Structure 1
Amino acid sequence: MVDIQTEIIIHCPREKVAAYAADPDHAPDWYVNIKQVEWLTPKPMAVGSEIAFKAHFLGKELAYVYRIMSYEPGKSMMMATADGPFPMETTYTWETAGGGSTRMTLRNRGNPSGFSVLFTPMMAFMMRRANRKDLEKIKRLLEQSA
C-alpha cells in the first residue's frame, strides 16, 4: 500500500485555491507529470464525473481515467481510478489557515498489483517528490495571480 500525504500553505483565500485545484482543466498547469486532460462526461464537476488524464511518470507515458467519488466545493474532492497496474485514490482538502491563506493537502493512496509491486518503495518516493513539486507550483501560480 502506498499512502502519501503532502500539504502546503498558499497565501490565497480557500475558495480561490479550491476552485482552481478542483478544476481538471488546470491540472496540466500545476501537475509536473500531467500533460493532457479530457472530460469524458459533461461539465460541470460532480460526483460521478469522469476525466481522462495522460501523464509521464518514471519515464513512461500513462493514460488513466479518474472518477469523482466525492466533492464538496471549497472543502474536499476525492477521485479514484481502478484501471491499470496501480489503482489510485487522490484526495484534495482545503482549510482556511488564517490571514487569508489556505492549507491544501494532497493525498495519494493505492495498492500496486502485478509487476509494479516490485517498485512500490521507489514509486512512493518519486510520488512524494512529485507531489511536493506540484504543490509548490500551484502555490506559485496562485500567489502570483493574487
Structure 2
Amino acid sequence: MPPITSTIEIACPPKEVFAYATDPGRFAEWQSDVAGVRIHGDRPPGLGTRFTTTRKIGRVEYRTTQEITDFRPPMSFAAGSVDGPLRVNATISVEPIDGGSGSRVTFTLDFHGRGAGKLLMPDVFGRIAASRAPQSHRNLKELLERGTYSGPDQRRRGAAGGAEHPS
C-alpha cells in the first residue's frame, strides 16, 4: 500500500502546532483511536525517545513501540515502529503560512508488515488509518484553534487522555 498523506491548515503558529502535535503524551487528546501512551524514560520527548501507543481498533487493542527518528522543531517530526508484525513510519511536517500566524501540517503514514504481518496487515491497517485520520486531523485543528487543550503541566499531573510518565 502506498503511504497515506494528508494536509490541513491550522490557524496557529508552527511552534505551537509542532509542540502539541508531536508530543506522544498528547496523541490520545486528538487521535480518536489512541487509548493511551506510555513514554519510556523521564526526559521530554525528543530524538531517540521511545513510546508505546495503545490503539483501539474495533474491540481490539493494538500496542506498538515507536522511536522518534526525526525531531526538528518547529518543522519536522518522524517516528517509526520498533516491534511487532506491523511497522508504521509516521511523519509530521509543519510549515508557516499567513506570515507565520498559521501552519500547514502534512501527515504521512507508511505501513509495512514483517514476518506473517506482510500478508495482510499493512493493507488492512492502512485502510483503517486512512478512514480515521481525517477525524483526528479535524480534532487537532479544533483543539489548537479553540485553545481548548490543557497545558503540558496539567498533562504530566495526570489529566485525562494524557501520557503515563514513570516517576
CA distance in 1, matches of 2:12, 2:72: 19
Alignment of 1:63-142 (within 5 A): 63-98=63-98, 100-113=101-114, 114-115=116-117, 117-142=119-144
Note the residue ranges of structure 2 that are not aligned, 5 or more in a row: 149-167
Q: Is the 8 A contact 1:6 1:128 kept in 2?
A: no
Contact 1:6/1:105 (8 A) holds in 2? yes
Q: Is residue 29 of structure 1 aligned with residue 48 of structure 2?
A: no
* 1:2–1:120 Cα contact (<8 Å) kept: no
* Shift of residue 125, structure 1, vs aligned partner: 2.4
In the TM superposition, residue 118 of structure 1 has moved relative to its aligned partner by 2.6
Query: TM-score, with normalisation over the residues of structure 2?
Result: 0.80
**Structure 1 unaligned residues grouped into runs of 5+:** none
How many residues of Structure 1 are paired with residues of Structure 2 in the alignment? Answer: 146
Q: RMSD between aligned alpha carbons?
A: 1.8
Q: Provide the identity percentage.
A: 23
1:17 aligns with 2:17: yes
**Corresponding residue for 1:43?**
43
Q: Name the SS for the 1:17 alignment partner.
A: helix
Q: Which amino acid aligns with 2:140?
A: I
Choose between structure 1 and 2: higher strand proportion.
Answer: 1
The AA in structure 2 aligned to 1:91 is T
Q: Which consecutive aligned stretches of 4+ in structure 1 deviate over 4 angstroms post-superposition?
A: none
Q: CA-to-partner distance for each residue in 1:34-87, whole Å, 9 max, x for gaps?
A: 111111122212211111111112432111111011100100110011311211
SS in 1 for 2:120: helix
